[in-house]
Chain A
Amino acid sequence: MKTYKDYEAINLSINGETRKVIIKHSDTLLRVLREKLGLTGGKPGCENGDCGACTILLDGKPVKSCMMLAIEAIDKNITTIEGLSNTEIQKAFVEYGGFQCGYCTSGFLLNAYALLETHPDADDDTIKEWLQSNLCRCTGYEGISKAIKTAQKKKAGI
């Protein structure tokens, strides 16, 4: 049995690096990433699991980092937006106006990235199912939708 008390020094594997960090058990992963590790790409849009602006990848799957404890991420691979570079989906977001204010963008990008890695041939229903997890107030989702479809084609070499 593992037992944790008070402050805990833990190792987290983030974007391919091991980061040592001191946390409290009740610290959410979002707050630890932002406030202890300076990874502010994920945002506290609601801290209630509704908006998806805090989405990160945990072992490749999108999760809302405001809804989990940092301590649960031990022995998992965390990917934040800071760990995503020059991907097709990032390029397509730039090209097709997948963002305006940029606040929801990290969450959308990570979710969309995971989607295209998991289901390279995702149809409209699957795209919708995944991306309904995130809110955007600026774009009306048009640019996001175009970007995903473009990145999907690029990845498939079309």
Chain B
Amino acid sequence: MISYDFEYYRPDTYEGAVKLFHQLNNESKNPLYYSGGTEIVTNARKNVIKTGAIIDIKAIPEGNLLRETEDAILLGANLTLNEIIEGSNFPLLNNVIRKIADHTVRNRLTLGGNICGRLAYREAILPLLTTEAKMVVAGENGLKSMSVGEIFDKRLKLQKGEILLQVEIPKKDTELPYYHERKEKQGEIDYPLVHVVALKKEERIKAAFTGICAFPFRSPEIEEILNDKNLSFEERAKKVVDKLPSNSRDDVFASKDFREFLMERSIIHTLKNLEGGI
């Protein structure tokens, strides 16, 4: 049960939503955009999230689109993970998000929610990072489309009041060879200790990671190592772990050491699968 009150709004347009956000913000109501709600409702119960107003963005039509154009797959950020799994034609994304939470939760949990939420794993961003997807963001000045690399650094760098509305994935990249590996503490329904997502484009491996650090990332330096064919898979794996962008996570789910152990193994598997040989 949530013990405190908040206002609830369900705008029909993104313009309306953004305007409302700023208005509520000016009234010091600390508004929150809300899509699937799974994270907000549970954290509000624990008083971890406090808000005076919820702006439910599920009625915004652009956020619910699932469309393929000639050269892109366009996914509304309000689509639930299961809607994407059932409707989208990007196997890597589908396989990755299939690991998030559990099937029932995925009937509510949305793409945008997973990427913009508080939980740091944000696994749905990994295939977007590797395919260099475009993120369509609604703000006070209307829509803008940015490459994920420009706007994602540990988290999505939205300005206050901005909404992630859609993602646009280059279609040709959705057909590339890929590999992903996710490790959990014990059972599958759990947070990832390590999740490696990689694809091979023009003989180069592109990879994104989460679980291992406190945030998801893709790193040019690490990709250099991954693609350094002068090194064995094992050497590359070790080197990657040395070059992580932050300390490895060390928490109730796993120690830093074990995560790094798993990370090395997942990298070796990734290389075996995408580079072959051995």
- Give the B-binding residues of A (Cβ under 8 A): 1-6, 24-28, 31, 47-49, 52, 55, 58, 61-64, 66-69, 71-72, 111, 129-130, 132-134
> Which of A1, A31, A58, A68 is in CB contact (< 8 Å) with B37?
A68
Name B's A-contacting residues (CB within 8 A).
1-2, 4-13, 16, 20, 37-38, 41-42, 44-45, 54, 56, 58-59, 82, 98, 101-105, 107-108, 188-189
CB nearest neighbor in B for A131: B103
Whose C-beta in chain B lies nearest to the C-beta of A29?
B41
Q: How far is the CB of A75 from chain B (nearest CB, A)?
A: 10
**Can you list 8 contacts pairing A with B, beta carbon distance less than 8 Å?**
A25-B54, A26-B5, A48-B45, A49-B38, A63-B104, A67-B38, A67-B41, A67-B42
Instruction: Select B104's contact among A24, A26, A28, A133, beta carbons within 8 Å.
Output: A133
Q: Report the minimal beta-carbon distance from A125 to chain B, rounded to whole angstroms.
A: 11
Set of chain A residues within 8 Å of B101, measured between Cβ atoms: 49
Asked whether A72 lies within 8 Å of B6 as measured between CB atoms, the reply is no
Q: A63-B107, A111-B104, A132-B102 are in contact. Are A28 and B41 (CB under 8 A)?
A: yes
Report yes or no: B37 in contact with A52, Cβ–Cβ below 8 A. Answer: no
Known A2-B10, A67-B38; contact A132-B4, beta-carbon cutoff 8 A = no
Contact of B2 among A4, A27, A63 (CB under 8 A): A27
Which listed residue, B4, B41, B44, B103, touches A130 by the CB 8 Å rule?
Answer: B103
Given A2-B9, A26-B6, A132-B188, A68–B41 Cβ distance below 8 Å?
Answer: yes
Q: For residue B11, which residues in chain A have a CB less than 8 angstroms away from its CB?
A: 1-2
Please, how many angstroms separate the alpha-carbon atoms of A61 and B85 in the complex? Answer: 15
Among A61, A71, A129, A132, point to the contact of B107 (Cβ < 8 A): A61
A6 CA to B5 CA in the complex, in Å? Answer: 8
Q: A1-B16, A61-B107 are in contact. List 16 more A-B contacts (CB 8 A).
A: A24-B5, A25-B6, A26-B4, A49-B38, A49-B42, A62-B103, A63-B104, A64-B104, A64-B105, A67-B38, A68-B37, A69-B37, A129-B98, A129-B103, A130-B103, A133-B105
In the bound complex, CA of A124 to CA of B182 (Å)? 21
| A3 surroundings in chain B (CB, below 8 A) | 9
Which residues in B have their C-beta under 8 angstroms from that of A64? Answer: 38, 104-105, 108
Measured CA separation A134–B44 after assembly (Å): 22
Residues of A with C-beta under 8 A to B104: 52, 55, 62-64, 111, 130, 133-134
Query: Measured between alpha carbons, how far is A130 from B13 in the docked complex, in Å?
Result: 34
- Chain A nearest CB from B103 CB (Å) reads 5
Shortest B45–chain A CB gap in Å is: 6
- Name the A residues within 8 Å of B7 (CB-CB): 4-5, 25
- Which A residues lie within 8 Å of B56 (CB)? 72
- 4 tightest A-B CB contacts, nearest first: A133-B104, A25-B8, A133-B102, A26-B2
B45 and A63 contact, CB distance less than 8 A: no
A26 CA / B1 CA spacing, docked (Å)? 8
Are A47 and B37 within 8 A (Cβ)?
A: no
Distance (Å) between the CB of A24 and the closest chain B CB? 6
Please, which residues of chain A bring their CB within 8 A of the CB of B9?
1-4
Docked complex Cα distance between A72 and B9 (Å)? 10
